[in-house]
């Protein structure tokens, strides 16, 4: 029985989970703890909080530690998280942190791995279509940023994760009113162009609402009154559908496109609204392809932990 410690570290909170993995490869989540990632100055301090808590699995006792972080991961051992002031270096995890075996993972790579675990067992169907288990799987999700990752089949029954920073590429707008919104986003964010992280995110939800209504509200406040602002819902659902269409066409994810992230998890109307699929299908040449891609809403907040744990399990098995 292997003991796996997985972590999903964001700009505000860090979640740690203890998993066991049996000989049949069944992952079992046994314990979980939330800690404040923005109240420590180093990753070492964060690990110390785990050790000092009543969490039953000490990082030094785990067979493998896998941490998922929001930001580019270099060589599986180094990451400077986008929304934290400190970095994580697992290049010599035993010497630095006393960890036997440690790896880092982009947070959306973890979301993609989660698509091959029980974390998505209760995912809600947004578009029903036949799942091709030999094809690519896509994970996309709006939260603080717009994350992307694909699982690419190896042809031998396995798969590899292909992380992406596509949330930082320019977002496409159409029509005069959308172009006016683009200029509004550029002015409000002081960026040279609008991109996924400024449009299809919590920030983007606030900006859409402010552009349409004149109200400058936090994302949580906008979410609380979506039923009173149907135009905000329609616009954001349209933009989310467009982002998903672009990624689905890029990776041809006939194995399923899984939407995760806090924005849709807290406000499912933003992907169940008819504007989402109308925009998702809007291709003059590839509508039939888009209609054949299964689309799911994964609102399981533990997905990143499951995905990191699966990565750790695969790492142990390969060794």
Q: CATH number for the domain including 98?
A: 3.30.420.40
Regarding whether 157 and 49 lie in a shared domain, the answer is: no
Q: Give the pLDDT of residue 39.
A: 94
Regarding whether 80 and 42 lie in a shared domain, the answer is: yes
Q: Is the pLDDT score of 313 beyond 90?
A: yes
Regarding whether 285 and 231 lie in a shared domain, the answer is: yes
Regarding whether 11 and 102 lie in a shared domain, the answer is: yes
State the pLDDT confidence band at 121, using cuts at 50, 70 and 90: very high
SS3 152: strand
Regarding whether 179 and 201 lie in a shared domain, the answer is: yes
Regarding whether 6 and 71 lie in a shared domain, the answer is: yes
Average pLDDT over residues 109-113: 95
Q: Give the pLDDT of residue 139.
A: 97
Residue 118 lies inside a defined structural domain of this protein:
no
Measured distance CA(234)–CA(273) in Å, rounded: 7
Structural element, H or E, at residue 224: helix 219-224
Regarding whether 273 and 133 lie in a shared domain, the answer is: yes
Q: CATH number for the domain including 278?
A: 3.40.367.20
State the pLDDT confidence band at 11, using cuts at 50, 70 and 90: confident
Regarding whether 214 and 261 lie in a shared domain, the answer is: yes
The number of beta carbons lying within 10 Å of the beta carbon of residue 201 is: 24
Q: Is the pLDDT score of 318 beyond 90?
A: no
Residue 73 lies inside a defined structural domain of this protein:
yes
Q: Is the pLDDT score of 266 beyond 90?
A: yes
Q: Give the pLDDT of residue 156.
A: 77
Q: Which of 48-62, 90-104, 228-242, 272-286 has the lowest mean pLDDT?
A: 90-104
- Percent over 70 (pLDDT), the chain: 100
Q: Is the pLDDT score of 24 beyond 80?
A: no
Q: Give the pLDDT of residue 229.
A: 97
Regarding whether 199 and 165 lie in a shared domain, the answer is: yes
Q: Is the pLDDT score of 95 beyond 80?
A: yes
Task: Dump pLDDT digits (tens) for 28-56.
Answer: 999 999 999 999 999 999 999 999 999 99
The number of beta carbons lying within 10 Å of the beta carbon of residue 59 is: 22
The rounded mean pLDDT for the chain is 95
- Edge to edge, the sheet with strand 73-74 lists 73-74, 78-79, 88-89
Q: Is the pLDDT score of 10 beyond 90?
A: no
Q: Give the pLDDT of residue 294.
A: 98
Q: Give the pLDDT of residue 236.
A: 98
Q: Per residue in 129-150, is it b (16+ CB within 10 Å) or e — as a string?
A: eeebeebbbbbbbbbbbbbbbb
Number of domains, the chain: 2
Q: Is the pLDDT score of 319 beyond 80?
A: no
Task: Dump pLDDT digits (tens) for 221-248.
Answer: 999 999 999 999 999 999 999 999 999 9
Q: Give the pLDDT of residue 70.
A: 86
Range of the domain at 24: 2-113+302-318
Regarding whether 152 and 267 lie in a shared domain, the answer is: yes
Regarding whether 127 and 211 lie in a shared domain, the answer is: yes
Average pLDDT over residues 284-303: 97
Average pLDDT over residues 191-219: 97
Q: Is the pLDDT score of 210 beyond 90?
A: yes
Alpha-carbon torsion, ordered 253, 255, 261, 263, to 10 deg: 70
State the pLDDT confidence band at 82, using cuts at 50, 70 and 90: confident
State the pLDDT confidence band at 72, using cuts at 50, 70 and 90: confident
Q: Give the pLDDT of residue 256.
A: 98
Q: Nearest Cα to 305, choosing from 38, 11, 23, 27?
A: 27
Regarding whether 243 and 107 lie in a shared domain, the answer is: no
Task: Dump pLDDT digits (tens) for 122-178.
Answer: 999 999 999 999 999 999 999 988 999 999 998 877 889 998 989 999 999 999 999
SS3 10: coil
């Amino acid at each position: 029985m292997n003991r796996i410690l997985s972590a999903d570290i964001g700009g505000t909170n860090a979640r740690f989970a203890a998993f066991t993995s049996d000989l049949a490869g069944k992952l079992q989540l046994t314990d979980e703890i939330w800690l404040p990632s923005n109240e420590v100055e180093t990753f070492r301090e964060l690990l110390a909080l785990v050790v000092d808590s009543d969490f039953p699995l000490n990082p030094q006792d785990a067979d493998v530690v896998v941490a998922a972080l929001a930001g580019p991961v270099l060589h599986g051992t180094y990451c400077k998280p986008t929304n934290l002031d400190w970095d994580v270096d697992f290049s010599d995890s035993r010497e630095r942190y006393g960890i036997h075996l440690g790896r880092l993972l982009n947070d959306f790579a973890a979301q993609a791995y989660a698509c091959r675990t029980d974390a998505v067992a209760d995912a809600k169907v947004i578009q029903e279509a036949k799942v091709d288990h030999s094809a690519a799987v896509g994970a996309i999700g709006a939260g603080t940023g717009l994350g992307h990752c694909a699982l690419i089949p190896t042809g031998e029954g396995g798969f590899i994760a292909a992380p992406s920073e596509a949330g930082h590429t320019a977002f496409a707008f159409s029509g005069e009113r959308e172009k006016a919104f683009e200029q509004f986003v550029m002015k409000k964010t002081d960026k040279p162009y609008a991109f996924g992280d400024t449009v299809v995110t919590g920030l983007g939800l606030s900006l859409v609402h402010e552009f349409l209504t004149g109200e400058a509200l936090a994302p949580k406040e906008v979410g609380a009154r979506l039923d009173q602002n149907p135009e905000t819902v329609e616009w954001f659902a349209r933009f989310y559908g467009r982002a998903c269409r672009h990624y689905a066409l890029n990776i041809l994810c006939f194995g399923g496109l899984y939407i995760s992230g806090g924005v849709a998890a807290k406000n499912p109307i933003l992907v169940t609204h008819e504007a989402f699929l109308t925009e998702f299908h809007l291709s003059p040449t590839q509508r039939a392809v888009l209609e054949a891609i299964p689309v799911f809403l994964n609102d399981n907040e533990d997905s990143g932990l499951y995905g990191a744990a699966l990565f750790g399990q695969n790492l142990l098995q390969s060794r």
